[in-house]
Structure 1
C-alpha cells in the first residue's frame, strides 16, 4: 500500500509589499476625487501572495525576496510567518523602503492598483535554490526572473505587471500565467505558442489553458459574492501550479484553480483572503452536494 501523497515543495522568487487599501463605492474617473468607506493595511505583493496561497493549500514553501529596514517590513511578513512560509530567504536592504501597493476596491470587488517596488528591486536568486516548483513574478528584477526559470524545477511565471520578457527567458517557463492584456504584451516579443503551458485569465469569465498554442481546457469560476479581487489571481496561479504538479488533468486542475481564486475574492485583503486547503475542500464538497441534489436536467449554475 502506498503512503500518503507528498505535497510538492515550492520556492517563490517574488515581491513583498504592504497593501494600503481604500474601499470606495465605485472606482474614480480621471481627475475625480471620491470619499472612501475606509482604509486598511494588509500584507501583499504578488510573490508573497503566491507563497502564502501555496502554503495554505498544503505545500512546503520558501520565499526569496527583499524588504526595507523600516516598520512596514515586519507587518508585510507577518502572515507569511504565521502561515509557515520559510522567509529566511527574504533579505533586508537599508537603502530602499519595503514595497507598497496603493489599492482601490469598489463595491463590486473590482480594483485598481499602483505599486512602488521599493526593496523588491534588490531581489536576487541564490545559487542553491531547490524545489519541486519555482514560481516568480515580474515585480522583481528581470535578472531574478531569468535565474528563477533557469532552475531544473517546474517553473511558473506570473507575468505581472506586464512588460516584454526575452524569448530566451520565456523558453525556460513551464507554466505562464497571464491575463488577456499581459498575454498580448508578451506575445509581441515572443512566440507564446511554443510554451508547454499558458493559462490566460479572463476575470469573472474564467480561464483557458493552452499547450503549445492549442486550447486544452477552459473553466469558469463558481458563483460567489465577490468582496475584493486583490490577490485572487495570485491564489489562482499558485493553485493551478500545485494541481498540475500533483498530477491532476488539465480540466480538473483549471477548475480547482478557478475555485481557489473565487474563494479568495470573497474576503477583503490579498493575503487575509487566501483560502486554506480545508476551506477549499469544504467549498467543493458543498458544490458537489448542491449539484447532486438538483432535479434531473437542471443546468449547473
Structure 2
C-alpha cells in the first residue's frame, strides 16, 4: 500500500530504570525496576499515525544489534512500511538511558547510534517514498543537515511538510522556515525558537506570529493542559484540551503530531485534524509508557468528553 504519511526520523530503544533518587557522581544505587521500551520521536510519530488511521512509511537507521531488530519488528507489527529502515553494520542502535526517581524527576543520556547515519544520501535512496506521500514529517533527532534536506525536498515535491522541532535548543536555520507548512513546537520549543517566554495562550500567539514572520506558513503550539494554539496569516484560534486524568505524559506530543498528520492525509480540515490529534494525545496521557500509550483510531472515535 502506498504510504500517505512518511516520517523521516529517529528510532531509539529507551532503557528505563527507577531508583529512589538520582545517583551522585561516583555513586552506585540499587535500582527498583528496569524496562526496555521502543521509542525515538520519529518511531513514536510513525506508530501514532499508523494506529490513528494512516498508511505510513518510516525512513531511518538502526544498528546491527538486537535493539535494532526489535524496533524494526515493532514498526512492522503496526503495519508500517519499513523498507527504508536501514541497518548500519558495526553501529549500535540509538538508545536513551533514563533514570527516574521517586519524585518522577529524571536524568537522561542519549546515544544517537544509528540515528546519526540518517544522511541526505540515505534519504535520497528512498525518494520514491517521499514523492508518493501526501504528508512528510521530520523532527530534530537526526542530523540537522538531513532535516533541512528533507524539508526542502518536500517543498520541491509539493507535499504537506510538518516539522516537530524537538529537541530544540535555539532558532532554526533561516532558510528552513519557507519550506515548512506546519511547525508544531511545544511551549519550551517555541521559547527556544523565538527567545520569547511561552507559558500561556497569549504568549504562544506572540511566538507563532514571530515564527510566521520568519517564513513559516502555519504554526501549532501545543500547550499541554492549556490545549493548543493554531495560527496562520488568516487567523489565530485556541483549541482547549480535552479533559482527562493524566497518568504519564510521555509521547503525548508525538501522538498529537501523528494524529494530526493522519487526519490531514485523510482529508480532514485543519480544525478537525487538530481536535482529532488532541483527543488522541489526551487518551495517551491516561496510559503509561511511550508507544504502549498511543491509542487507536477506534479509541479516538469512541471518546466521550
TM-score (norm 1): 0.82
Question: Aligned residue for 1:77?
Answer: 72
Matched, 1:90 2:92: no
Q: 1:42 aligns with which of 28, 31, 37?
A: 37
SS of the residue 1:88 aligns to: strand
2:166 maps to 160
TM-superposed CA distance for 1:247, in Å, is 4.1
Q: Does 1:209 align with 2:230?
A: yes
Structure 1 counterpart of 2:149: 147
Deviation at 1:147, TM superposition (A): 2.1
Q: Counterparts of 1:58 and 1:69 in 2: how far apart (Å)?
A: 31
Distance 2:99 2:2 in 1: 35
Aligned to 2:284: 264
- Give the counterpart of 2:211 among 187, 192, 206: 192
What does 1:24-39 align with in structure 2 at a 5 Å threshold? 28=22, 36-39=31-34
1:136 Cα deviation after fit: 0.7
TM-score by length of 2: 0.81
The count of corresponding residues between Structure 1 and Structure 2 is 278
Q: Quick one: distance in 2 between partners of 1:211 and 1:24?
A: 45
- What displacement does 1:94 show? 2.3
Gaps of 5+ in 1: 1-5, 288-301
- Whole-Å separation in 2 of the counterparts to 1:37 and 1:230: 20
Looking at structure 2, the residues matched to 258 and 34 of structure 1 have their Cα atoms a distance apart, in angstroms, of: 39
Taking the aligned partners of 2:272 and 2:101, their CA distance within structure 1 comes to: 31
Task: Measure the CA separation in 2 of the matches of 1:107 and 1:262.
Answer: 24
Alignment check: 8 A CA contact 2:3 2:81 kept: no
Matches within 5 A, 1:210-225: 210-212=231-233, 215-225=236-246
Retained in 1: the 8 A contact 2:50–2:80? yes
Counterpart check, 1:57 vs 2:57:
no
In structure 2, C-alpha distance between the alignment counterparts of 1:113 and 1:60, rounded to whole Å: 32
Question: Which string of whole-angstrom CA distances, capped at 9 and with x for unpartnered residues, describes residues 59-102 of structure 1?
Answer: 11110000011121112222211001111101111243100012
Q: Distance in 2 between matches of 1:259 and 1:45?
A: 22
